[in-house]
Amino acid sequence: MIGKTVKHNPKTILVTGGAGFIGSNFVHYWLEKYPNERIIVLDALTYAGNRANLTTAEKNPQFKFIHGDILDSDLVGKLLDGEQIDTIVHFAAESHVDRSIHGPDAFLKTNIEGTHSLLKAAKKIWLDGGEKDHRFHHVSTDEVYGTLEPAAPAFTEQHQYKPNSPYAASKASSDHIVRSYHHTYGLNTTISNCSNNYGPYQFPEKLIPLVIANCIDGKLLPIYGDGKQIRDWLYVNDHNRGIDLIIRNGESDNTYNIGGNNEWTNIDIVILICELMDQHDPKGAPHNRLVSYVTDRLGHDRRYAIDASKIMSELGYKPEETFETGIRQTIQWYLDNERWWRKVMDGSYREWLNKNYN
Protein backbone atom coordinates (compact mmCIF):
# COMPACT_ATOMS: atom_id res chain seq x y z
CA MET A 1 0.00 0.00 0.00
CA ILE A 2 2.65 2.53 1.06
CA GLY A 3 4.04 4.59 -1.83
CA LYS A 4 1.78 3.16 -4.56
CA THR A 5 -0.25 5.24 -6.99
CA VAL A 6 -3.87 5.22 -5.91
CA LYS A 7 -6.79 6.04 -8.19
CA HIS A 8 -9.47 7.12 -5.80
CA ASN A 9 -13.18 7.51 -6.55
CA PRO A 10 -14.86 9.41 -3.74
CA LYS A 11 -18.48 8.63 -2.91
CA THR A 12 -18.95 10.56 0.31
CA ILE A 13 -16.52 13.26 1.35
CA LEU A 14 -16.05 15.10 4.62
CA VAL A 15 -15.02 18.72 4.11
CA THR A 16 -13.63 20.27 7.28
CA GLY A 17 -13.82 24.07 7.38
CA GLY A 18 -16.37 24.04 4.56
CA ALA A 19 -18.04 27.22 5.82
CA GLY A 20 -14.85 29.24 5.35
CA PHE A 21 -13.49 30.92 2.24
CA ILE A 22 -11.83 28.15 0.23
CA GLY A 23 -13.93 25.36 1.76
CA SER A 24 -17.25 26.92 0.76
CA ASN A 25 -16.01 27.56 -2.78
CA PHE A 26 -14.90 23.92 -2.84
CA VAL A 27 -18.37 22.72 -1.79
CA HIS A 28 -20.06 24.73 -4.58
CA TYR A 29 -17.50 23.54 -7.13
CA TRP A 30 -17.88 19.90 -6.06
CA LEU A 31 -21.69 19.77 -5.96
CA GLU A 32 -21.85 21.22 -9.45
CA LYS A 33 -19.19 18.97 -10.91
CA TYR A 34 -20.07 15.70 -9.13
CA PRO A 35 -23.85 15.64 -8.58
CA ASN A 36 -23.73 11.94 -7.57
CA GLU A 37 -21.26 12.38 -4.74
CA ARG A 38 -22.26 13.30 -1.17
CA ILE A 39 -20.62 16.10 0.77
CA ILE A 40 -20.67 16.53 4.53
CA VAL A 41 -19.26 19.75 5.96
CA LEU A 42 -17.88 19.77 9.48
CA ASP A 43 -17.30 23.31 10.69
CA ALA A 44 -17.03 24.92 14.13
CA LEU A 45 -18.29 28.27 12.74
CA THR A 46 -15.51 30.40 14.20
CA TYR A 47 -15.46 34.10 13.25
CA ALA A 48 -14.24 32.96 9.79
CA GLY A 49 -16.97 30.39 9.17
CA ASN A 50 -20.31 31.50 7.88
CA ARG A 51 -23.26 29.28 7.13
CA ALA A 52 -24.53 31.88 4.68
CA ASN A 53 -21.60 30.87 2.43
CA LEU A 54 -23.43 27.56 1.92
CA THR A 55 -26.99 28.78 1.34
CA THR A 56 -27.32 27.27 -2.13
CA ALA A 57 -25.62 24.02 -1.10
CA GLU A 58 -28.09 23.56 1.79
CA LYS A 59 -30.84 23.07 -0.81
CA ASN A 60 -29.02 20.11 -2.36
CA PRO A 61 -30.00 16.67 -0.99
CA GLN A 62 -26.40 15.47 -1.45
CA PHE A 63 -25.22 18.05 1.12
CA LYS A 64 -25.22 17.96 4.91
CA PHE A 65 -23.87 20.47 7.43
CA ILE A 66 -22.57 19.41 10.84
CA HIS A 67 -21.76 22.13 13.36
CA GLY A 68 -18.82 20.68 15.25
CA ASP A 69 -15.13 20.87 16.07
CA ILE A 70 -12.34 18.89 14.41
CA LEU A 71 -10.84 18.59 17.89
CA ASP A 72 -13.72 16.28 18.78
CA SER A 73 -12.18 13.02 17.53
CA ASP A 74 -15.16 10.94 18.73
CA LEU A 75 -17.56 13.06 16.70
CA VAL A 76 -15.33 12.72 13.63
CA GLY A 77 -15.10 8.94 14.14
CA LYS A 78 -18.88 8.65 14.39
CA LEU A 79 -19.28 10.70 11.21
CA LEU A 80 -16.73 8.67 9.26
CA ASP A 81 -18.38 5.44 10.32
CA GLY A 82 -22.06 6.46 10.32
CA GLU A 83 -21.97 8.36 7.03
CA GLN A 84 -19.60 5.88 5.34
CA ILE A 85 -17.18 8.65 4.45
CA ASP A 86 -14.31 7.56 2.20
CA THR A 87 -12.54 10.91 1.71
CA ILE A 88 -11.54 13.76 4.01
CA VAL A 89 -10.60 17.14 2.54
CA HIS A 90 -9.15 19.04 5.45
CA PHE A 91 -9.44 22.83 5.14
CA ALA A 92 -10.36 23.73 8.75
CA ALA A 93 -7.74 25.99 10.28
CA GLU A 94 -6.97 29.32 11.80
CA SER A 95 -5.73 31.00 8.64
CA HIS A 96 -4.83 34.67 9.21
CA VAL A 97 -1.14 35.45 9.77
CA ASP A 98 -1.81 38.74 11.65
CA ARG A 99 -4.06 36.93 14.13
CA SER A 100 -1.35 34.30 14.68
CA ILE A 101 1.06 37.08 15.65
CA HIS A 102 -1.35 38.51 18.23
CA GLY A 103 -2.59 35.15 19.55
CA PRO A 104 -0.71 32.01 18.48
CA ASP A 105 -2.47 29.61 20.92
CA ALA A 106 -5.58 29.08 18.81
CA PHE A 107 -3.36 28.33 15.81
CA LEU A 108 -1.42 25.61 17.57
CA LYS A 109 -4.63 24.12 18.99
CA THR A 110 -6.68 24.04 15.79
CA ASN A 111 -4.01 23.56 13.16
CA ILE A 112 -1.82 21.02 14.97
CA GLU A 113 -4.05 19.28 17.53
CA GLY A 114 -7.11 19.56 15.29
CA THR A 115 -5.32 17.89 12.39
CA HIS A 116 -4.07 15.15 14.69
CA SER A 117 -7.57 14.60 16.05
CA LEU A 118 -8.83 14.00 12.49
CA LEU A 119 -5.94 11.66 11.72
CA LYS A 120 -6.65 9.60 14.84
CA ALA A 121 -10.30 9.22 13.88
CA ALA A 122 -9.37 8.35 10.28
CA LYS A 123 -6.91 5.68 11.42
CA LYS A 124 -9.43 4.17 13.82
CA ILE A 125 -12.27 3.92 11.30
CA TRP A 126 -10.37 3.37 8.06
CA LEU A 127 -7.47 1.16 9.20
CA ASP A 128 -7.85 -0.40 12.64
CA GLY A 129 -10.81 -2.68 11.98
CA GLY A 130 -9.55 -3.79 8.54
CA GLU A 131 -8.56 -1.42 5.76
CA LYS A 132 -11.31 0.44 3.93
CA ASP A 133 -10.97 2.42 0.70
CA HIS A 134 -10.07 5.97 1.81
CA ARG A 135 -8.11 9.14 1.19
CA PHE A 136 -7.07 11.91 3.58
CA HIS A 137 -6.22 15.14 1.76
CA HIS A 138 -4.58 17.87 3.83
CA VAL A 139 -4.82 21.45 2.52
CA SER A 140 -1.66 23.38 3.35
CA THR A 141 0.16 26.51 2.34
CA ASP A 142 3.31 27.77 0.61
CA GLU A 143 4.12 29.66 3.83
CA VAL A 144 5.64 26.48 5.29
CA TYR A 145 8.66 27.07 3.01
CA GLY A 146 9.45 30.50 4.49
CA THR A 147 10.56 33.48 2.44
CA LEU A 148 12.44 33.85 -0.86
CA GLU A 149 15.18 36.24 -1.97
CA PRO A 150 14.13 38.42 -4.96
CA ALA A 151 15.87 36.35 -7.65
CA ALA A 152 15.60 32.91 -6.02
CA PRO A 153 13.78 30.15 -7.90
CA ALA A 154 10.20 29.47 -6.80
CA PHE A 155 9.41 26.90 -4.08
CA THR A 156 9.40 23.29 -5.29
CA GLU A 157 8.13 20.38 -3.18
CA GLN A 158 11.77 19.70 -2.24
CA HIS A 159 12.28 23.14 -0.68
CA GLN A 160 13.28 23.03 2.98
CA TYR A 161 10.53 23.87 5.48
CA LYS A 162 11.39 27.19 7.18
CA PRO A 163 8.11 28.59 8.52
CA ASN A 164 8.38 32.10 9.95
CA SER A 165 5.03 33.00 11.55
CA PRO A 166 3.15 31.02 14.21
CA TYR A 167 0.52 30.35 11.51
CA ALA A 168 3.10 28.96 9.07
CA ALA A 169 4.79 26.92 11.82
CA SER A 170 1.47 25.40 12.86
CA LYS A 171 0.70 24.44 9.24
CA ALA A 172 4.23 23.00 8.82
CA SER A 173 3.73 20.89 11.96
CA SER A 174 0.40 19.61 10.69
CA ASP A 175 2.00 18.63 7.35
CA HIS A 176 4.60 16.57 9.21
CA ILE A 177 1.99 14.83 11.35
CA VAL A 178 -0.02 13.91 8.24
CA ARG A 179 3.11 12.51 6.66
CA SER A 180 3.88 10.49 9.78
CA TYR A 181 0.43 8.85 9.68
CA HIS A 182 1.22 7.55 6.23
CA HIS A 183 4.68 6.26 7.08
CA THR A 184 3.78 4.79 10.44
CA TYR A 185 0.28 3.46 9.91
CA GLY A 186 -0.16 3.36 6.12
CA LEU A 187 -2.93 5.98 5.98
CA ASN A 188 -3.58 7.04 2.38
CA THR A 189 -2.63 10.73 2.59
CA THR A 190 -1.89 13.58 0.19
CA ILE A 191 -0.89 17.18 0.90
CA SER A 192 -1.19 20.33 -1.21
CA ASN A 193 0.79 23.52 -0.57
CA CYS A 194 -0.89 26.43 -2.31
CA SER A 195 -0.09 30.10 -2.84
CA ASN A 196 -2.34 33.07 -1.90
CA ASN A 197 -5.99 32.59 -2.92
CA TYR A 198 -8.51 35.26 -3.79
CA GLY A 199 -12.16 35.17 -4.83
CA PRO A 200 -15.72 35.22 -3.44
CA TYR A 201 -16.42 34.63 0.29
CA GLN A 202 -12.94 35.62 1.46
CA PHE A 203 -13.11 37.23 4.87
CA PRO A 204 -12.25 40.94 4.49
CA GLU A 205 -9.33 40.77 6.92
CA LYS A 206 -7.20 39.48 4.01
CA LEU A 207 -5.55 41.99 1.65
CA ILE A 208 -7.69 41.78 -1.52
CA PRO A 209 -11.20 41.82 -0.01
CA LEU A 210 -10.12 44.38 2.60
CA VAL A 211 -8.92 46.75 -0.12
CA ILE A 212 -12.10 46.30 -2.17
CA ALA A 213 -14.35 46.91 0.87
CA ASN A 214 -12.35 49.95 1.97
CA CYS A 215 -12.43 51.42 -1.56
CA ILE A 216 -16.23 51.08 -1.56
CA ASP A 217 -16.40 52.82 1.84
CA GLY A 218 -13.73 55.44 1.08
CA LYS A 219 -11.56 54.13 3.95
CA LEU A 220 -7.76 54.05 4.08
CA LEU A 221 -5.98 51.12 2.42
CA PRO A 222 -3.31 49.92 4.89
CA ILE A 223 -0.05 48.90 3.23
CA TYR A 224 2.35 47.16 5.58
CA GLY A 225 5.96 48.45 5.45
CA ASP A 226 7.11 49.48 1.98
CA GLY A 227 4.43 47.44 0.15
CA LYS A 228 7.07 45.70 -1.95
CA GLN A 229 6.45 42.25 -0.49
CA ILE A 230 5.57 39.71 -3.16
CA ARG A 231 2.76 37.16 -3.13
CA ASP A 232 1.78 34.63 -5.85
CA TRP A 233 -2.00 34.91 -6.40
CA LEU A 234 -4.37 32.15 -7.52
CA TYR A 235 -8.13 32.28 -8.09
CA VAL A 236 -9.82 30.12 -5.43
CA ASN A 237 -11.42 27.60 -7.77
CA ASP A 238 -8.12 27.05 -9.53
CA HIS A 239 -6.88 25.88 -6.12
CA ASN A 240 -9.96 23.65 -5.82
CA ARG A 241 -9.39 22.17 -9.28
CA GLY A 242 -5.91 21.19 -8.15
CA ILE A 243 -7.24 19.55 -4.98
CA ASP A 244 -9.80 17.65 -7.06
CA LEU A 245 -7.03 16.22 -9.29
CA ILE A 246 -4.94 15.24 -6.29
CA ILE A 247 -7.81 13.48 -4.49
CA ARG A 248 -8.64 11.40 -7.57
CA ASN A 249 -5.26 10.81 -9.18
CA GLY A 250 -2.55 11.94 -6.80
CA GLU A 251 -0.10 9.46 -5.43
CA SER A 252 -0.39 8.53 -1.77
CA ASP A 253 2.21 10.17 0.50
CA ASN A 254 2.81 12.87 -2.09
CA THR A 255 2.93 16.61 -1.72
CA TYR A 256 1.83 18.82 -4.62
CA ASN A 257 2.44 22.56 -4.89
CA ILE A 258 -0.46 24.49 -6.43
CA GLY A 259 0.00 27.95 -7.94
CA GLY A 260 -0.55 30.05 -11.01
CA ASN A 261 2.84 31.68 -11.64
CA ASN A 262 1.38 35.08 -10.82
CA GLU A 263 3.69 37.15 -8.60
CA TRP A 264 2.68 40.67 -7.61
CA THR A 265 3.96 43.19 -5.11
CA ASN A 266 1.28 44.21 -2.61
CA ILE A 267 1.36 47.83 -3.68
CA ASP A 268 0.90 46.92 -7.35
CA ILE A 269 -2.16 44.80 -6.50
CA VAL A 270 -3.64 47.64 -4.44
CA ILE A 271 -3.05 50.15 -7.25
CA LEU A 272 -4.65 47.75 -9.77
CA ILE A 273 -7.73 47.33 -7.56
CA CYS A 274 -7.91 51.13 -7.19
CA GLU A 275 -7.85 51.53 -11.00
CA LEU A 276 -10.63 48.96 -11.45
CA MET A 277 -12.65 50.67 -8.71
CA ASP A 278 -12.14 54.02 -10.52
CA GLN A 279 -13.88 52.50 -13.57
CA HIS A 280 -16.74 51.30 -11.42
CA ASP A 281 -17.07 54.47 -9.33
CA PRO A 282 -15.60 57.48 -11.20
CA LYS A 283 -16.93 59.85 -8.51
CA GLY A 284 -14.71 58.16 -5.90
CA ALA A 285 -11.64 58.33 -8.20
CA PRO A 286 -8.77 58.27 -7.80
CA HIS A 287 -9.07 55.52 -5.18
CA ASN A 288 -5.30 55.39 -4.82
CA ARG A 289 -5.59 58.58 -2.72
CA LEU A 290 -6.64 56.14 0.05
CA VAL A 291 -3.30 54.29 0.09
CA SER A 292 -1.79 54.55 3.56
CA TYR A 293 1.59 53.10 4.55
CA VAL A 294 1.44 51.63 8.07
CA THR A 295 3.76 49.77 10.46
CA ASP A 296 5.00 46.51 8.98
CA ARG A 297 3.76 43.06 10.07
CA LEU A 298 6.20 41.44 12.55
CA GLY A 299 8.47 38.89 10.84
CA HIS A 300 6.87 39.75 7.49
CA ASP A 301 7.89 37.29 4.75
CA ARG A 302 9.25 39.19 1.76
CA ARG A 303 8.40 36.90 -1.13
CA TYR A 304 6.48 33.71 -1.91
CA ALA A 305 6.47 32.03 -5.31
CA ILE A 306 5.24 28.56 -6.20
CA ASP A 307 6.71 26.19 -8.76
CA ALA A 308 3.68 24.08 -9.74
CA SER A 309 5.42 22.03 -12.43
CA LYS A 310 4.90 18.71 -10.57
CA ILE A 311 1.09 18.90 -10.48
CA MET A 312 1.09 20.26 -14.03
CA SER A 313 3.21 17.48 -15.51
CA GLU A 314 1.98 14.56 -13.37
CA LEU A 315 -1.73 15.38 -13.04
CA GLY A 316 -2.33 17.71 -16.01
CA TYR A 317 -3.15 20.71 -13.82
CA LYS A 318 -3.59 24.15 -15.41
CA PRO A 319 -5.25 27.22 -13.85
CA GLU A 320 -8.29 28.41 -15.79
CA GLU A 321 -8.51 32.04 -14.65
CA THR A 322 -6.04 34.73 -15.60
CA PHE A 323 -5.44 37.37 -12.95
CA GLU A 324 -7.28 39.84 -15.19
CA THR A 325 -10.47 37.74 -15.28
CA GLY A 326 -10.20 36.54 -11.68
CA ILE A 327 -9.73 39.96 -10.10
CA ARG A 328 -12.59 41.49 -12.13
CA GLN A 329 -14.94 38.67 -11.06
CA THR A 330 -13.84 39.07 -7.47
CA ILE A 331 -14.41 42.82 -7.39
CA GLN A 332 -17.83 42.31 -9.00
CA TRP A 333 -18.71 39.69 -6.37
CA TYR A 334 -17.90 42.10 -3.52
CA LEU A 335 -19.90 44.85 -5.25
CA ASP A 336 -22.87 42.48 -5.63
CA ASN A 337 -22.61 41.04 -2.12
CA GLU A 338 -22.24 44.10 0.07
CA ARG A 339 -24.64 42.71 2.67
CA TRP A 340 -22.46 39.62 3.09
CA TRP A 341 -19.19 41.44 3.78
CA ARG A 342 -20.77 44.19 5.86
CA LYS A 343 -22.31 41.55 8.09
CA VAL A 344 -19.09 39.58 8.61
CA MET A 345 -17.05 42.77 9.16
CA ASP A 346 -19.44 44.25 11.70
CA GLY A 347 -19.14 41.37 14.17
CA SER A 348 -16.11 40.02 15.96
CA TYR A 349 -13.74 41.31 13.27
CA ARG A 350 -14.28 44.94 14.24
CA GLU A 351 -13.79 44.00 17.90
CA TRP A 352 -10.52 42.23 17.07
CA LEU A 353 -9.29 45.11 14.92
CA ASN A 354 -10.09 47.67 17.61
CA LYS A 355 -8.42 45.59 20.32
CA ASN A 356 -5.21 45.02 18.39
CA TYR A 357 -4.76 48.10 16.25
CA ASN A 358 -6.15 51.04 18.31
> Interface with ligand DAU by CB under 6 A: which residues?
95-97, 141-143, 195-196, 206-207, 210, 222-224, 229, 231, 266, 297, 304
Asked whether position 141 contacts ligand NAD by CB under 6 A, the answer is yes
Select the residue interacting with ligand NAD from 37, 45, 75, 329 (CB under 6 A).
Answer: 45
Q: Which of 145, 167, 235, 256 is catalytic?
A: 167
| Residue among 125 and 194 whose Cβ is closer to ligand DAU | 194
Select the residue interacting with ligand NAD from 52, 66, 71, 285 (CB under 6 A).
Answer: 71
23 contacts which partner out of ligand NAD, ligand DAU, none, CB within 5 to 8 A by kind? ligand NAD
229 contacts which partner out of ligand DAU, ligand NAD, none, CB within 5 to 8 A by kind? ligand DAU
Give me the DSSP letters along 58-102.
HTSTTEEEEE--TT-HHHHHHHHHHTT--EEEE--S---HHHHHH
Select the residue interacting with ligand NAD from 19, 88, 191, 230 (CB under 6 A).
Answer: 19
174 contacts which partner out of ligand NAD, ligand DAU, none, CB within 5 to 8 A by kind? none
Burial zone of 129 (CB within 10 Å; 0-12 exposed, 13-18 middle, 19+ buried): exposed
Strand 230-235 and strand 196-198: the pairing is parallel
Cα-Cα-Cα-Cα dihedral sign, residues 25, 29, 30, 32: positive
Asked whether position 95 contacts ligand NAD by CB under 6 A, the answer is yes
- What letter would DSSP give residue 19? T
Burial zone of 257 (CB within 10 Å; 0-12 exposed, 13-18 middle, 19+ buried): buried
Per the annotation, the verdict on 338 as an active-site residue is no
- The alpha helices in the chain, defined as continuous H runs, are 21-33, 55-58, 73-82, 97-102, 105-107, 115-123, 166-185, 207-217, 236-249, 266-280, 309-315, 323-336, 338-344, 350-357
Binding mask of the shown chain, residues 197 to 236, with x at each position contacting ligand NAD by CB under 6 A:
x-----x---------------------------------
Per-residue buried b or exposed e for 168-199, using 16+ beta carbons within 10 Å of the residue's own CB: bbbbbbbbebbbebbeeebbbbbbbbbbbbbb
| Residue among 19 and 223 whose Cβ is closer to ligand NAD | 19
Whole-angstrom distance, CA of residue 99 vs CA of residue 329? 28
Residues 284, 218 contacting (CB under 8 angstroms): yes
Which residue in the shown chain puts its C-beta closest to ligand DAU?
141
Binding mask of the shown chain, residues 165 to 204, with x at each position contacting ligand NAD by CB under 6 A:
------x----------------------x-xx-----x-
Name the CA radius of gyration of the chain, rounded.
20
By rule CB under 6 A, what count of residues binds ligand NAD? 30
Select the residue interacting with ligand NAD from 8, 13, 15, 21 (CB under 6 A).
Answer: 21
| Residue among 148 and 290 whose Cβ is closer to ligand NAD | 148
Q: Residue 58 Cβ, how far from ligand NAD at the closest point, in Å?
A: 15
Asked whether position 20 contacts ligand NAD by CB under 6 A, the answer is yes
Closest by CA position to 69, among listed 115, 138, 35: 115
Whole-angstrom distance, CA of residue 20 vs CA of residue 343? 15
Per the annotation, the verdict on 94 as an active-site residue is no
Closest by CA position to 141, among listed 113, 117, 100, 174: 174
Q: Residue 119 Cβ, how far from ligand DAU at the closest point, in Å?
A: 20
Per the annotation, the verdict on 198 as an active-site residue is no
Q: Residue 235 Cβ, how far from ligand DAU at the closest point, in Å?
A: 13
344 contacts which partner out of ligand NAD, ligand DAU, none, CB within 5 to 8 A by kind? none
Whole-angstrom distance, CA of residue 345 vs CA of residue 157? 36
Residues that bind ligand NAD (CB under 6 A): 16-17, 19-23, 42-46, 48-49, 69-71, 91-93, 95, 110, 114, 139, 141, 171, 194, 196-197, 203
Catalytic sites, residue numbers: 142-143, 167
